[in-house]
């Protein structure tokens, strides 16, 4: 008993020490005489943004719950009801067709009171499922099947292309609607709390499952993207807009001349152009170098440059830069998606230390704005002038790659 009390006292002291150290570090971070004012301003901005996002999410969730309740009530109390308006019934049937048929446009629907006649070509594997689905549409009394069944789409123009449709359970979809997210988040939170109160393997499994479910609901991101495993290039989305008071052709030339970008973009160390491919070296968290190869997927002069990393790259990424001209200069829009090893957790750590792509992009674009508008900027402690990175004759020609129509 004495040992247990001593252990409990020791654990309590350690917890109090850890709490005190954490609070002290937080106060030092916020009240720093040099950077404290800027940090407090950033915290206020982020808090205001979080309140706005929360209010929008609450409004969307309430609307989603209301619509689902109204739909459920209409389904329960309106089942078997006959609709006098044939246009309404036809719309309901066409909506049902789109959930099970890969080529809904090929199906002709004819309505006579509550009787439905189906005509047109359809793949054989989808026909019976389609007829069953139409029979269950509220208001449908009977169905006449005049569909022309085909084993394959060969030589039938209306059955070309398309994609196979199937009804999927709400929680099997990649993006969850607001109402299911709220339900899943509440279940995950409750499961986490219950798991923490339990002991042993059962408590650990419950807490881990609850935390995973809660994160899935909050981020609305599949687990493979969240963990950065098997998610391809899609993981963290980054977007940035900036207005530069310079002609669109001049701004575009600075981006197309890739080998000069590291001179004023400090998160880039080196870029090498090899025919239709480029080799990049960037600075990652803690100064760790990161390499990848990329290819230009779209190139429209003075309009758009798009790229994606090649398979085997350490960090998969893809994105585009779009240029829009206005009477005061050029609006530059950059969108990028990248999938870091460790997923959103690695991204959160990088953000904490100010080495995430969004932070680096903000600083680099401000340098570019200064370079183009004032002719100079500072990077890595040295002054860089516009003449040093301006495109020389014969440089910066169009990279080899697909035409805009190819993507």
User: What's the pLDDT tens digit per position in 25-66?
Assistant: 777 777 778 777 877 887 888 788 888 988 988 898 899 889
> Per-residue pLDDT for 74 more than 60?
yes
Question: What is the pLDDT, as a whole number, of residue 292?
Answer: 81
Distance CA 150, CA 106 (A): 13
Distance CA 315, CA 342 (A): 11
Residue 352, domain member (yes or no): yes
Distance CA 399, CA 277 (A): 8
Kindly state the percentage of the chain with pLDDT values over 90. Answer: 8
User: What is the domain extent for residue 117?
Assistant: 86-159
Distance of CA 29 to the CA centre of its chain: 31
Same domain, 94 and 184: no
Same domain, 63 and 106: no
Same domain, 69 and 151: no
Same domain, 341 and 376: yes
Please measure the distance between the N-terminal and C-terminal CA atoms of the chain and give it in whole angstroms. 72
Residue 41, domain member (yes or no): no
Same domain, 137 and 277: no
Q: What's the mean pLDDT when you consider all of the chain?
A: 77
Residue 10, domain member (yes or no): no
pTM for this entry: 0.54
Residue 208, domain member (yes or no): yes
Q: For the segment 123-164, what is each residue's pLDDT rounded down to a tens digit? A: 988 889 999 999 988 888 899 999 999 988 888 888 887 777
Same domain, 215 and 280: no
Distance CA 353, CA 234 (A): 23
pLDDT band at 240 (very low <50, low <70, confident <90, very high): confident
Residue 348, domain member (yes or no): yes
Q: Which of 319, 149, 152, 126 is nearest to 238 (CA)?
A: 319
Same domain, 117 and 147: yes
Same domain, 193 and 264: no
Question: What is the pLDDT, as a whole number, of residue 398?
Answer: 45
pLDDT band at 358 (very low <50, low <70, confident <90, very high): low
pLDDT band at 117 (very low <50, low <70, confident <90, very high): very high
> Per-residue pLDDT for 300 more than 60?
yes
pLDDT band at 175 (very low <50, low <70, confident <90, very high): confident
Q: Give the mean model confidence (pLDDT) for residues 263-288.
A: 75
> Per-residue pLDDT for 311 more than 60?
yes
Q: Who's near 285: CB < 8 A, 6+ residues apart?
A: 346, 349, 350, 353, 355
Domain count, the chain: 4
């Amino acid at each position: 008993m004495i040992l247990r009390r001593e252990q409990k006292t020791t654990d309590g002291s350690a917890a109090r020490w850890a709490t005190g150290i954490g609070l002290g570090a937080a106060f030092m971070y916020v009240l720093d005489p040099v950077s404290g004012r800027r940090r407090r301003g950033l915290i206020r901005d982020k808090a205001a943004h979080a309140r706005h996002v929360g209010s929008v999410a609450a409004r969307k969730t309430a609307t989603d719950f209301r619509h689902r309740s109204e739909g459920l009530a209409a389904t329960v109390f309106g089942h078997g009801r006959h609709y006098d308006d044939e246009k309404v019934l036809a719309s309901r049937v066409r909506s049902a067709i789109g959930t099970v048929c890969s080529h809904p446009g090929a199906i002709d629907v004819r309505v006579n009171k509550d009787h439905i006649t189906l005509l047109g070509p359809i793949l054989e594997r989808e026909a019976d499922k389609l007829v069953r689905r139409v029979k269950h549409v509220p208001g449908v009394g009977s169905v006449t099947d005049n569909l022309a069944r085909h084993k394959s789409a060969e030589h039938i123009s209306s059955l070309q292309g398309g994609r196979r449709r199937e009804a999927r359970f709400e929680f099997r979809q990649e993006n969850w609607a607001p109402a299911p997210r709220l339900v899943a988040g509440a279940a995950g939170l409750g499961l986490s709390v219950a798991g923490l109160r339990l002991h042993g393997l059962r408590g650990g499994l419950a807490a881990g499952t609850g935390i995973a479910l809660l994160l899935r609901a909050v981020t609305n991101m599949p687990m493979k993207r969240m963990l950065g495993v098997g998610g391809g290039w899609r993981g963290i989305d980054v977007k940035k807009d900036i207005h530069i008071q310079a002609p669109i052709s001049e701004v575009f030339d600075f981006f197309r001349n890739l080998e000069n970008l590291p001179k004023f973009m400090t998160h880039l160390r080196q870029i090498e152009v090899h025919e239709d491919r480029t080799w990049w070296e960037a600075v990652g968290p803690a100064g760790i170098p990161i390499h990848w190869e990329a290819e230009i997927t779209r190139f429209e002069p003075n309009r758009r440059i798009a790229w994606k990393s090649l398979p085997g790259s350490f960090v998969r990424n893809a994105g585009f830069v779009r240029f829009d001209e206005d009477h005061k200069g050029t609006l530059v829009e950059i969108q990028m998606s990248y999938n870091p090893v460790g997923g959103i957790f690695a991204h959160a750590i990088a953000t904490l230390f100010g080495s995430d792509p969004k932070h680096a992009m903000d600083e680099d674009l401000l340098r570019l704005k200064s370079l183009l508008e004032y002719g100079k900027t500072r990077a890595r402690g040295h002054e860089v002038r516009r003449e040093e990175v301006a495109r020389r004759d014969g440089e910066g020609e169009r990279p080899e790659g697909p035409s805009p129509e190819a993507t």
